[in-house]
């Protein structure tokens, strides 16, 4: 592969000049620039970013850590990040933690070794120690947390207002006439679930509906957990008349289980999920859900990164961006179709 030295040799100039010419340095004559460009093209020159990265101390790579890449939510976030990053000539490097703490730690290590210029991450579910992220931040590498975040670190964050989303979802169910509203939640240490639970609770309180702990089930919110959850709810003496799930998968699972048992949705049990995965709109009845603005999360995160890079690590103040989720009402929670327009 051709290097700037090869180009230099051809033109009887030095590599310095070639480098400057390629970077459009003002002190290089137009004639030389043109000549360099021409030879570069002829030799099929490809700049070696690795060499430049070593010299500059910048790799122009952003590291992304997600629990898993094959979920529509994270896919969209990644897409958002990549879109903004590319415009500023950054590439993204994706790593999956598989929702495992150990793996997350080693992934952070790997990204540091790869000398990424910044890291954007959403925690693994069992991450409780944040030293590995503290290390990133201490090294002065921009760190932006999204979705599953943690306020104990003085870093930027992009989240949605989970509290609001949950509050609105619950309120919506109440307005539909539901009074025994169950809630599927997850690991309480993760703030998004804590916030969603809080939104649920406060909505109940606002409407003078007593909070019943037997209606709140904690799990990993997978598909199976939704089925199991519904079964547990149906074992209660008094059935719930609605479920607000903190995840899309367990919501759809509950819906499927209801159908299997011949329970009418939404009339016997109304259901609202969280995360606007593609499948939520295709199930029957279509699932009401809280849209998480996934793509915007990505673009916002990337923009914060760019800002931090340009402002400089010293003068940059960590930002916390809270996006407003959108309650999407579909038939799974709509007892009176006349009152609302369907989306």
Partner DNA sequence: TGTAAATATGCAATCGATTGCGCACAATTC
Partner DNA sequence: GAATTGTGCGCAATCGATTGCATATTTACA
Omega prior to 266 cis, within 30 of 0: yes
* Residue 311 site contact among a second copy, DNA, none (CB < 5 to 8 Å, cut-off depends on kind): none
96 sits near a second copy (criterion: CB under 8 A):
yes
Chain centroid to CA 272: how far?
Answer: 21
Q: Which is nearer to DNA, 4 or 62 (CB)?
A: 4
- Judge whether 72 and 282 are in contact, CB under 8 Å: no
- Judge whether 112 and 82 are in contact, CB under 8 Å: no
34 sits near a second copy (criterion: CB under 8 A):
no
* Residue 68 site contact among DNA, a second copy, none (CB < 5 to 8 Å, cut-off depends on kind): a second copy
256 sits near a second copy (criterion: CB under 8 A):
yes
Q: Which of 30, 262, 278, 314 binds a second copy (CB under 8 A)?
A: 278
Q: Which is nearer to DNA, 47 or 337 (CB)?
A: 47
1 sits near a second copy (criterion: CB under 8 A):
yes
186 sits near a second copy (criterion: CB under 8 A):
no
Minimum distance from CB of 196 to a second copy (Å)?
22
Q: Which of 38, 139, 313, 339 binds a second copy (CB under 8 A)?
A: 139
Minimum distance from CB of 242 to a second copy (Å)?
19
Q: Which of 17, 19, 76, 157 binds a second copy (CB under 8 A)?
A: 76
Q: Which is nearer to DNA, 41 or 210 (CB)?
A: 41
Minimum distance from CB of 317 to a second copy (Å)?
24
Compute the distance between CA of residue 233 and CA of residue 255 in angstroms, rounded to an integer: 13
Q: Which is nearer to a second copy, 142 or 199 (CB)?
A: 142
**Strand pairing class (288-291; 326-328):** antiparallel
Minimum distance from CB of 285 to a second copy (Å)?
8
SS (H, E, C) 176-199: CCCCCEEEEECCCCCHHHHHHHHH
**CA dihedral of residues 256, 261, 263, 264 (deg, nearest 10):** 50
Q: Which is nearer to DNA, 48 or 281 (CB)?
A: 48
47 sits near a second copy (criterion: CB under 8 A):
yes
Residue 50 phi/psi, 5° resolution? -65, -45
Residue 272 phi/psi, 5° resolution? -130, 135
22 sits near a second copy (criterion: CB under 8 A):
no
Closest CA relative to residue 205, chosen from 240, 164, 170, 245: 170
| Long-range pairs, 40-46, Cβ under 8 A, ≥24 | 40/2, 40/7, 43/2, 43/6, 43/7, 43/10, 44/2, 45/2, 45/3, 45/4, 45/6, 45/7, 46/1, 46/2
> Interface with DNA by CB under 7 A: which residues?
1, 3-5, 12-17, 19-20, 22-23, 25-29, 31-32, 45, 47-48, 51-52, 54-57
Closest CA relative to residue 182, chosen from 197, 192, 195, 193: 197
317 sits near a second copy (criterion: CB under 8 A):
no
Closest CA relative to residue 294, chosen from 307, 280, 310, 308: 280
Sole window of 5-13, 30-38, 48-56, 311-319 interacting with a second copy (rule: CB under 8 A)? 48-56
341 sits near a second copy (criterion: CB under 8 A):
no
Minimum distance from CB of 283 to a second copy (Å)?
4
């Amino acid at each position: 592969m051709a290097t700037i030295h090869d180009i230099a040799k051809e033109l009887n100039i030095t590599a310095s000049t070639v480098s400057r010419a390629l970077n459009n340095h003002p002190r290089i004559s137009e004639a030389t620039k043109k000549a360099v460009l021409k030879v570069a093209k002829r030799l099929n020159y490809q700049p070696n970013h690795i060499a430049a990265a070593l010299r500059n101390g910048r790799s122009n790579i952003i590291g992304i850590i997600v629990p898993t890449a094959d979920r529509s939510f994270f896919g969209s976030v990644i897409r958002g990040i990549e879109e903004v990053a590319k415009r500023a000539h950054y590439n993204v490097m994706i790593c999956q933690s598989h929702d495992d703490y150990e793996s997350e730690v080693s992934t952070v290590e790997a990204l540091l070794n790869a000398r990424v210029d910044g890291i954007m991450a959403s925690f693994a579910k069992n991450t409780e120690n944040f030293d590995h992220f503290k290390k990133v931040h201490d090294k002065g590498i921009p760190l932006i947390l999204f979705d599953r975040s943690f306020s104990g670190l003085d870093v930027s964050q992009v989240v949605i207002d989970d509290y609001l989303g949950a509050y609105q979802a619950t309120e919506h169910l109440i307005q539909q006439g539901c009074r025994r509203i169950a809630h599927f939640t997850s690991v309480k240490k993760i703030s998004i679930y804590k916030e969603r639970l809080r939104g649920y609770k406060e909505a109940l309180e606002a409407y003078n509906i007593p909070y019943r702990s037997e209606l709140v089930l904690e799990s990993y919110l997978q598909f199976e957990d939704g089925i199991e959850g519904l079964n547990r709810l149906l074992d209660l003496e008094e059935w719930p008349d609605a479920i607000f799930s903190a995840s899309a998968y367990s919501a759809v699972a509950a819906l499927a289980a209801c159908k299997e048992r011949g329970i009418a949705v939404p009339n016997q049990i109304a259901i609202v999920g969280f995360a606007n995965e593609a499948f939520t709109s295709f199930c029957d009845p279509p699932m009401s859900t809280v849209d998480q603005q996934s793509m915007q999360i990505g673009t916002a995160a990337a923009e914060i990164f760019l800002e931090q890079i340009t402002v400089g690590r010293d003068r940059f103040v960590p930002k916390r961006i809270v996006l407003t989720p959108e309650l999407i009402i579909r038939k799974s929670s709509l007892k009176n179709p006349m009152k609302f327009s369907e989306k």
